[in-house]
Amino acid sequence: MKRKLFILLVMITISGVMRAQHEQHKAPPQKAEKPLKEMPAPKKAMKDTSTHNMHVMKDSMEMKMPSGVPMSHAFSLNLPMNRNGSGTGWLPDASPMYGYMFHSKKWMYMVHGNLFLRYTDQDVGNKGSRGDEKFDAPNWFMMMAQRKVGRKGLFHYNVMISLDRITEGGSGYPLLFQSGESWEGQPLVDRQHPHDLFSELSVSYSYAFSKKVDAFAYFGYPGEPAIGSVAFMHRPSALSYPDAPISHHWNDGTHITFGVATLGVRLDKFKVEGSLFTGREPDENRYNFDKMRFDSWSGRLSFNPSPNWAFQASQGFIKSPELLHPDEDVNRTTASAIFSLPMRNDNWLNVTTLWGLNKTAGHEGENAFLLEGALRLMKTEVFTRYEWVQKAVEELNLDPAKYGEATLFPVNSISAGATYDLLNFQKTRLALGGQFSVFFNSNALHELYGKNPIALQVYLRLYPGLMKMQH
């Protein structure tokens, strides 16, 4: 039944895309494309011009799309699609969109993705014993579709897959100080776990009571509950990073959850939502569908005061997330802010800052902080990320008798990199990139990691071009 559902959704998407391409082929020629976003005039107030540009963009899209096709946010007919994040999370309205768009008579389809072909060395100087190197290819691909239901209803579905299990193997890729999940009964430490083949299969329905009030229902198997910021794979400030943040399991580690039900209401610039979901993280079999439990909950308040900003604060109870520690429940608190500023010539500035706290009964709370930014300048993107994470003895799989059972190790990480688009063909880009990271660890960990280990990587990134509109 589960595989039949997936196959049905894929077949619907493929058939719709083929039909959309056929209809577009028959359509009369359109005028030349122009960028989806343009920089507001330098001498005008940022808030006023950004708001004006977003309204113009939305109105122009609605005029160019066939009648009845919803060119809108996934959970609101009255919000721009740029606000789409991961799960039900919000991005700023001024965020860039990278993908391919098709439409048929009643449906709108989008395809997204990211593929890195890379070499990574997580301890260039061989300072410690925990670093590793690898040739690999982190990746994810998403299809989405939506259509109107009546005048005020909107139906939407997402299909997201990852081939990480094939390209990364069961133990994932090396990443110093990363922790979470397991392989062959052993905790994954200093490695990022591979994502499941079926990373999201979700459906939703929303209803617009007015221009400023919407309500929606979302179900995913798997899906993403209402907790944390938009997941790193979908944040504009992190799109050029092959690596997951080492704070992943303090913020967006629940982005693949087998069993999620979310209800939400938007009141103008605010959104309140709550989720019931399965607390257990995906098991070691990355091809199957795990058991739905609905034993955990979360709530999130989102606020977008202007087109350039998206804020959220959330709280959740996660029942037994780790397979190897079934008796440990986690109370997670997060807060984040995402900023996006479009400029001339398809240039963009995107910044994210977030904080997360994991609290387990009988243990001191563990904090994480992240600040990342990316600046797009024509074909070049430069990016940086700073993280501070408190890692427990259990997180790093250390001997409590030697290091102290209640010890928390502060880990600081600074990363920087750049990419350059080599090719741009058929709305697809191929970029060459490189990145380095420096880790600042406590003296007690120098024996295992060395003092301030350095990681380097080079890669090719294949990704969709910036989405543009007909003007």
275 vs 54, 71, 316, 405, 409, CA distance in Å? 30, 26, 9, 33, 32
Cis peptide before 222 (omega within 30 of 0): yes
The C-alpha atoms of residue 417 and residue 413 are separated, in whole angstroms, by 14
The C-alpha atoms of residue 69 and residue 62 are separated, in whole angstroms, by 8
pLDDT at 304: 98
| Paired sense of beta strands 213-220 and 260-267, if any | antiparallel
CA 76 to chain centre: 20
3-state secondary structure the chain: CHHHHHHHHHHHHHHHHHHHHHHHHHCCCCCCEEECCCCCCCCCCHHHHHHHHHHHHHHHHHHHCCCCCCCCECCECCCCHHHECCCCCECCCCCCCECEEEECCCEEEEEEEEEEEEEEECCCCCCCCCCCEEEECCEEEEEEEEEEECCCEEEEEEEEECCHHHHCCCCCEEEEEEEEEEECCEEEEEEECCCCCEEEEEEEEEEECCCCEEEEEEEECCECCCCCCCCHHHCHHHCCCCCCCCCHHHHCCCCCECCEEEEEEEECCEEEEEEEECCCCCCCCCCCCCCCCCCEEEEEEEECCCCCEEEEEEEEEECCCCCCCCCCCEEEEEEEEEEEEECHHHCEEEEEEEEEEEECCCCCCEEEEEEEEEEEECCEEEEEEEEEEEEECCCCCCCHHHHCCCCEEEEEEEEEEEEEEEEEECCEEEEEEEEEEEEECCHHHHHHHCCCCEEEEEEEEEEECECEEEC
User: Pick from 168, 171, 134: which is nearest to 457 by CA?
Assistant: 134
pTM of the predicted model over 0.75 = yes
Phi-psi region of 78 (alpha: psi -120 to 50; beta: other; left: phi over 0): alpha
The pLDDT confidence band at residue 468, using thresholds 50, 70 and 90, is: confident
Contact 396, 379 (CB under 8 A): no
pLDDT at 281 over 90: yes
pLDDT at 116: 98
Residues counted in the chain: 471
Q: Which two tokens stand for residue 190?
A: 């200093």
Average pLDDT of the chain to the nearest whole number:
88
pLDDT 10s digits, 178-217: 999 999 999 999 999 999 999 999 999 999 999 999 999 9
pLDDT at 17: 42
pLDDT at 312 over 80: yes
pLDDT 10s digits, 253-280: 999 999 999 999 999 999 999 999 999 9
pLDDT at 469: 57
The C-alpha atoms of residue 180 and residue 318 are separated, in whole angstroms, by 14
pLDDT at 343: 96
The region of weakest confidence among 22-26, 64-68, 151-155, 206-210 is 22-26
pLDDT 10s digits, 42-77: 344 344 444 434 443 443 333 355 667 888 999 999
Instruction: List b or e across 143-180, with b for residues whose CB sees 16 or more CB atoms inside 10 angstroms.
Output: bbbbbbeeeeebebbbbbbbbbbebbeebbbbbbbbbb
The C-alpha atoms of residue 99 and residue 215 are separated, in whole angstroms, by 27
pLDDT at 37 over 90: no
